[in-house]
């Protein structure tokens, strides 16, 4: 491996946004660490990539095992520059079934926090690095149909802001990027004829551009930034009606 090769880990890269980002970044020369529960998908992705990749089975809801797994992946790769957290789940849950709420919270809140904290401890120790996580436009308001999903993304964006404040106070060279996509054409965006759904290739390309600029926050795409602004500022009485 060349000494100047950039190295990144993508948590949740067996499908969707994480997998597409892996393809874009590998084409651009990144050596990658790929994690998820579906190890066979990660291994077949690894075989298609033009650069070297390392795969690890990881279920982020098993927090202690995931912390150990992430630390050993970083070691195996000889250190990393960037960690992207794409892992997440969500359900339309009109009946508030506890199993679905629990899985969403365990994954998007508990699991994601364990990964963020492990990554930040590593970057603080080496005094540089870049952490990014995929939140959502859904973080901006509550949802009648998937309340735990929107709430978990609000938690994530707020948590990332907290970590960013902590880093900025210490004036360290560590970037924290909060990525807020609108609807993306992946397994997660369930249902037909969804509003303004975006192709995966476009989304991954825009996310990668924002990562290269080490942005604090990015909406993907710009039209979702506009919708997000309206959503965020809509009076409650109006919001309840839509």
Ligand X SMILES: NC(=O)c1ccc[n+]([C@@H]2O[C@H](COP(=O)([O-])OP(=O)(O)OC[C@H]3O[C@@H](n4cnc5c(N)ncnc54)[C@H](OP(=O)(O)O)[C@@H]3O)[C@@H](O)[C@H]2O)c1
Interaction site with ligand X (CB under 6 A) = 12-18, 36-38, 58-61, 86-90, 107, 111, 134, 136, 181, 183-184, 186-189
Answer yes or no: are the C-beta atoms of 150 and 141 closer than 8 Å.
yes
Complex with ligand X: residue 161 or 185, whichever CB lies closer: 185
Closer CB to ligand X, 28 or 43, in the complex: 43
Helical spans, DSSP H, in the chain: 16-27, 39-48, 63-76, 98-105, 112-126, 147-169, 200-212, 222-233, 236-239
9 or 238: CB nearest ligand X: 9
Nearest-CA neighbor of 60 among 45, 76, 73, 77?
Answer: 73
Task: Report in angstroms how near the CB of residue 13 gets to ligand X at its nearest.
Answer: 6
CB of 144 to ligand X, least distance (A): 17
Instruction: Find, among 166, 168, 177, 158, the residue nearest to 219 by Cα.
Output: 177
Nearest to 138 by CA among 39, 214, 220, 56: 220
Render the burial of 158-184: b for 16+ CB within 10 Å, e for the rest. Answer: ebbeebbeebeeeeeebbbbbbbbbbb
Smaller CB distance to ligand X: residue 103 or 172? 103
Residue 118 or 186 having the CB closest to ligand X: 186
Least distance in Å: CB of 20 to ligand X?
Answer: 8
């Amino acid at each position: 491996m060349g000494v100047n090769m950039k190295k990144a880990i993508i948590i949740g890269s067996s499908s969707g946004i994480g997998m597409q980002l892996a393809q874009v970044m590998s084409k651009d020369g990144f050596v990658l660490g790929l994690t998820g529960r579906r190890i066979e998908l990660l291994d077949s992705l690894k075989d298609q990539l033009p650069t070297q990749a390392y795969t690890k089975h990881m279920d982020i809801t098993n927090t202690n095992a995931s912390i150990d797994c992430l630390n050993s992946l970083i070691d195996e790769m000889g250190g990393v520059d960037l960690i992207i957290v794409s892992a997440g789940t969500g359900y339309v849950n009109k009946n508030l079934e506890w199993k679905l709420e629990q899985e969403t919270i365990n994954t998007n809140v508990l699991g994601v926090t364990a990964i963020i904290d492990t990554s930040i401890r590593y970057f603080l120790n080496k005094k540089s690095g870049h952490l990014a996580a995929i939140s959502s436009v859904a973080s901006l308001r509550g949802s009648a149909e998937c309340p735990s999903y929107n709430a978990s993304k609000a938690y994530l964006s707020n948590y990332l802001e907290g970590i960013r404040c902590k880093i900025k106070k210490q004036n360290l060279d560590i970037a924290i990027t909060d990525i807020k996509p609108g609807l993306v054409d992946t397994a997660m965006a369930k249902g037909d004829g969804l509003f303004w759904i975006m192709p995966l290739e476009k989304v991954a390309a825009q996310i990668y551009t924002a990562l290269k600029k080490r942005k604090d926050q990015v909406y993907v795409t710009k039209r979702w930034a506009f919708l997000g602004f309206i959503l965020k500022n809509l009076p409650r009485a109006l919001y309840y009606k839509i």
